[in-house]
Amino acid sequence: MAATLQTPLYAAISSSPASSSSSSSSIRTTTSFSFFRSTPPPTLLFNSKNSFSLIRASSTDTVITELDAVSAFSEIVPDTVIFDDFQKFPPTAATVSSSLILGICGLPDTIFRKAVEMALADSECYGLQDPNARLSCFATKALVNVGSDMTKLVPGRVSTEVDARLAYDTHGIIRKVHDLLKLYNDSNVPHERLLFKIPSTWQGIEAARLLESEGIQTHLTFVYSFAQAAAAAQAGASVIQIFVGRVRDWARNHSGDKEIESAKLNGEDPGLALVTKAYNYIHQYGHKSKLMAAAVRNKQDLFSLLGVDYIIAPLKVLQSLKESVASGDEKYSFARRLSPQSADRYMFSDEEV
């Protein structure tokens, strides 16, 4: 995990030239963004009590698209960091990750280049004798500098990735979050605007529980089982992220997992079934967590998850939804699949509870 998620970042930072120039031109990379709201979203063009969206519909557009229709049930999240796409799918919040910093370092002109260069010129980091500590310092400063700039561009919350090499170290995660929070405080970013993205190992979930008890909002990711989702909800995580497509991919090539086999036996997609069960658990037992469905591969996946708090969808799916017009009758035919009412009727086994 460390090599995959972290090593390219440090390699890029250590080889990236520091300069004082910056540019406002667009970044071109394919790393995924995640978006979160801390304020009520805007109402869409047709009236609905559950009308929420992270895709801002035009107030002058009189055409109801499929994107407008599905956004009445879930907050639809564009999966992109291609900033040219912001005009089509404006983000309201963001995630700052090692992959994003890598993309910034790999391009000559981006709107966040100066934030990274300032981190590379930090005298405190240069004063560290240990090379690993020095690179870690540069990376941390770069994440916070870019994250601070993000809070000026989006109205919602910014989630900052915690070093994945700390995934099995509860106290290490907590120390890292405190370090990140201090740097954000130094940049005058209020903690209400921040989330901290933590891997959902048992140690990560315990770290989230302790951080949430301090009033620090956490975003638990890499959830691939109901046990993880339930534990994350019990820990009080602010956001829980499940990768629908990754669960499906794993299930196609593996067997013997009781949870996966149960979903298949019922004729269900394992990834969609996990999101459904986690959503029902959160709402039936009154947990505060918001659920995010990621790695959504197609429109049918999205339609099957309507009602979940957040759906991260690739641009090709969003573009298809935006280009498909819903007639006056069709806009009401999109059914909400997940709701607090349906959650109350869901039956959990004694073992699951």
Question: Which positions are annotated as active-site residues?
Answer: 197
CA dist., res. 268 & res. 291, Å (int): 19
CA dist., res. 330 & res. 307, Å (int): 17
DSSP for 99-115, please give it: HHHHHHHTSS--TTHHH
- Structure tokens that stand for 312 in this block: 């991260």
Helix, strand, or coil (residue 157) = strand
Task: Please list, in sequence order, all residues whose beta carbon lies within 8 angstroms of the beta carbon of residue 191, skipping any fewer than 6 positions away.
Answer: 181, 184, 185, 215, 216, 217
Q: Which amino acid is at 111?
A: I
Quote the DSSP letter at residue 349: P
Phi and psi for 130 in degrees, rounded to 5? -75, 120
Phi-psi region of 332 (alpha: psi -120 to 50; beta: other; left: phi over 0): alpha
CA dist., res. 296 & res. 272, Å (int): 9
* Helix ranges, the chain (H): 2-5, 7-15, 66-70, 98-105, 113-120, 123-126, 131-153, 170-186, 202-213, 226-234, 244-253, 258-265, 270-284, 299-304, 315-323, 340-345
CA dist., res. 37 & res. 272, Å (int): 23
